[in-house]
Amino acid sequence: MIKTIKHKGLRLLWEGEKGYRLPADQVERIEDMLEVIDSAVYVPADFEFYKSWKIHPLKGNLKGYWSLTVKENWRVIFCFDREHAYNLDYIDYH
């Protein structure tokens, strides 16, 4: 279950609000990702069906975060603990 979202655009999209200002060509994929993150119980096992999302743990200053590829350098990242997702963010990873 999603508990906290850092990125304002992701939060507005998740809450069904307008003005989320995310790239139009990425919105559907991001919505799908948010739905799967919200229903996830085990990470990364619950994402095995979504190979193109390339789920992987991050290192360095983002250690403890998981990353999903949206498009090119854009990622949705999140922390996951006991069936809850925290600190969701949308970043240009590289």
Note the helical H segments in 8-86.
Answer: 8-14, 27-39
What local confidence, expressed as pLDDT, does residue 29 receive?
98
What local confidence, expressed as pLDDT, does residue 18 receive?
86
The pTM assigned to this predicted structure is: 0.95
Each residue's pLDDT tens digit in the chain (94 positions)?
A: 999 999 999 999 999 998 889 999 999 999 999 999 999 999 999 999 999 999 999 999 999 999 999 999 999 999 999 999 999 999 997 7
- Hey, which residues are catalytic here? 94
Domains of the chain in start order, with CATH, are 8-92 (3.30.2310.20)
Give yes or no for a contact between 1 and 78, defined as CB atoms under 8 angstroms apart.
no
Tell me which H or E stretch contains 89. Answer: strand 84-92
